A and B are shown apart, each in its own frame.
Chain A
Amino acid sequence: EPEVTQTPSHQVTQMGQEVILRCVPISNHLYFYWYRQILGQKVEFLVSFYNNEISEKSEIFDDQFSVERPDGSNFTLKIRSTKLEDSAMYFCASSGLAGGPTFSYEQYFGPGTRLTVT
């Protein structure tokens, strides 16, 4: 069964450093997402991406964050200058099969990348 993959599984970085989290969504999906979960808190939406542009973003997704689909398979989240409070589990998701209904109901999630900022 197709699945969303994420690398690395765990990333440790120093405060102020740039970090790139990588995701390979399910092929033929059209919508891509990033969520994060700070330990003990809710899973929070960051951003959705469709047709090579951001379609929605939350208040958390400020200028320090950016997303990119650099090729036909990868979807990346970049944090330019990490802060301690960026430490969290980051989940990538995809939905919306090409040629299917235009709405994007079921989101398929990756296993997450645990980001630790020291």
Chain B
Amino acid sequence: GNSVTQMEGPVTLSEEAFLTINCTYTATGYPSLFWYVQYPGEGLQLLLKATKADDKGSNKGFEATYRKETTSFHLEKGSVQVSDSAVYFCALKNTGNQFYFGTGTSLTVIP
């Protein structure tokens, strides 16, 4: 079946530190992969996506590369800011319309 396994949190980093949040998936066929972010009191917002192997999604300094050989879609950012503090969700979409999410990783960036 389809599933996503995400790095456990919470994660606390100092401003300007490097961020990696690991995400691996299980799926048949060729799913699309997503990272969503949820800021306090808000809904899940699409951060970036990749629709085929070796695609790199990027947005707001965040990047993730669709690695079919390792079934991974790790989220990275070179220098985090306090405003990046949020919960990050990895997700996949296969055939059909439903998304399969991970548990979410809470990130806190301290000045």
Residues of A within 8 A of B (CB): 3-4, 6, 31, 33, 35, 37, 40-45, 48, 50, 55-56, 58, 91, 93, 95, 104-112
Contacts and interface: CB of A to CB of B under 8 A. Distances in A.
B97 A91 contact: no
Contacts of B62: none
A45 B89 CA distance: 14
Nearest to A41: B103
Most buried by A among B36, B89, B100, B101: B101
B93 A111 contact: no
Contact of A42 (B96, B97, B102): B102
Interface of B is mostly: strand
Given A31-B97, A43-B44, A43-B101, 17 more contacts: A3-B43, A33-B98, A35-B101, A41-B103, A43-B99, A43-B102, A45-B100, A48-B97, A48-B98, A50-B97, A56-B96, A56-B97, A95-B97, A105-B32, A107-B46, A108-B43, A111-B41
**For this complex, into which size category does the number of interface residues on chain B fall?**
20 to 34
Interface of B: 4, 32, 36, 41-46, 49, 89, 91, 93, 96-104
A37 B103 CA distance: 8
B98 A40 contact: no
Contacts of A93: 44
Interface of A is mostly: strand
Contacts of B96: 56
B6 to A, nearest CB: 8
Contacts of B100: 45
B98 A109 contact: no
10 contacts: A4-B43, A6-B43, A37-B104, A43-B103, A50-B97, A55-B97, A91-B43, A109-B43, A109-B44, A110-B43
A42 to B, nearest CB: 5
